[in-house]
Structure 1
């Protein structure tokens, strides 16, 4: 019993099960009472533990299956009841046969039952587990200190302005009089070629008109070169209805497609042919 580390004031519960000799139970109880002098020792069959109606948190130490032969299989329900009977920080010492659950599975069951500080030790044909109950009761509640007082709003201080950065973007009258500042003359931005009046012939599109390389009118010719090639320039022609894909070309640019041949021309009546006056064909003077 010296390996159990019992105190003289401990209240001990001894659990047994299976085919255990009564004289072994009696011998174990007497040894425990010799160690636990000021405390107490109670004996209970592990399969009748839930029917014993023990009060919660009644024992400092619970010994289960330590009387040979180890034939007790500790299920989660049994371990949960043991955890209920232990005092906070109470200890559980239990033995299981080697052919019972694996050590890892038993440790997992102990953890799910609420035990902590689980350790195991293997002897010849016995696995001994030692575990502890947490220092608090399951379901323990405590009052939270909550403050509902409205904290006064503190205005964030204005960010500091770096004076060195501000100086970079400042310009004083003295700086304007500095001879080192090179200011470009606006009259020098344009040269003589930029000031020349353009020739109206040079404003015509290079791909259309008599000056074009192919001497052919473009597909959507609107300058009159196509009519000139067809010999119809200056002759009155019967207006033919202009056809288009959308049918809205005559309404103006707002209703024309991006590839409309009438793009840029004024609005006209349906079926009317667009003709530009001489004033519109001449460049602005």
Structure 2
């Protein structure tokens, strides 16, 4: 964890409406001691999507770690976090134990390549949480893959090419696109048939000449 913060150049702290403004400066100071080279930005979750920050802007996003309770994450919000993170960037949030299975499904759907609970060495991130909230949940670290938005990977198969496209365009929704290669195969088959047919004609002409 210390290495992650030490290498960070830009950190976004996303809070909810019930954040106590008096906690902002102490929290910044805690993060700054761990990430001395990083520029730290604070943003309210309600304004985050409307602000339309540039894609791949942050190395680390800290969500809802300043407030006393836990705010659940939505698919749209996770999509926005994914878009804002640099390749290999990290999202850190606190999740209630009973909601972790659903949260993992959401992390997968949004494209995060890894998602793991953090140990007690990261407890400095949730000093503002209620003790009861701390007991009922845990910190999670999610990582974005090493590629950026718009990356696609072709999966070659006979007749069909499946492309997994990581994209947050179109209202923040991930898209899986399937491209059908059968047109190319039909074109190739027709071309081969034409070549065979032409060869047959040439063979017949040669036979006639020999006769």
State the TM-score bracket (shorter-chain normalisation). 0.5 to 0.7
Partner of 1:128: 139
- Cα 1:39–1:75 change in 2 (3 A) is same
Q: Distance in 2 between matches of 1:65 and 1:110?
A: 16
Q: Does 1:117 align with 2:114?
A: yes
> Which gives a bigger RCO, structure 1 or 2 (Cα 8 Å, sep 6+)?
2
Residue 71 of structure 1 pairs with residue 82 of structure 2:
no
Q: Distance in 2 between matches of 1:23 and 1:17?
A: 14
The CA distance in 2 between the partners of 1:129 and 1:28, in whole Å, is 18
Tell me the TM-score normalised to structure 1 length: 0.45
Please list every run of 5 or more consecutive structure 1 residues that lacks an aligned counterpart in the other structure.
143-285
Match of 2:36 in 1: 37
Match for residue 101 of structure 2?
Answer: 104
What displacement does 1:49 show? 0.8
Structure 2: distance between partners of 1:114 and 1:70: 26
Once the two structures are superposed, residues 17-71 of structure 1 have per-residue CA deviations (whole angstroms, 9 ceiling, x without a partner) of 1412111122111222233222200000112110122110010011111113133
Work out the CA distance in 2 between the residues paired with 1:136 and 1:5: 18
**After the TM superposition, which parts of structure 1 deviate over 3 Å for at least 4 consecutive aligned residues?**
2-5
Larger radius of gyration: 1
1:154-173 pair list within 5 angstroms: none
Match of 1:48 in 2: 47
Unaligned stretches of 5+ in structure 2?
A: 120-133, 154-211
Q: Would you tell me which structure has more helix in proportion to its own residues?
A: 2
Give the conservation status (yes or no) of the 8 Å contact 2:62–2:91.
yes
- Which string of whole-angstrom CA distances, capped at 9 and with x for unpartnered residues, describes residues 140-186 of structure 1? 259xxxxxxxxxxxxxxxxxxxxxxxxxxxxxxxxxxxxxxxxxxxx
8 A Cα contact 2:12 2:42, kept in partner: yes
Q: Residue in 1 aligned with 2:16?
A: 17
| Aligned counterparts of 1:118 and 1:30: Cα–Cα separation in 2 | 26
Q: How big is each residue's C-alpha offset from its partner over 1:193-242, in whole Å with a ceiling of 9 and x where there is no partner?
A: xxxxxxxxxxxxxxxxxxxxxxxxxxxxxxxxxxxxxxxxxxxxxxxxxx
CA distance 1:104–1:97, shift in 2 (3 Å): closer
Matches within 5 A, 1:252-271: none
Partner of 1:59: 58
Determine if contact 1:16/1:72 at 8 Å carries over to the other structure.
no
Structure number having the greater strand percentage: 2
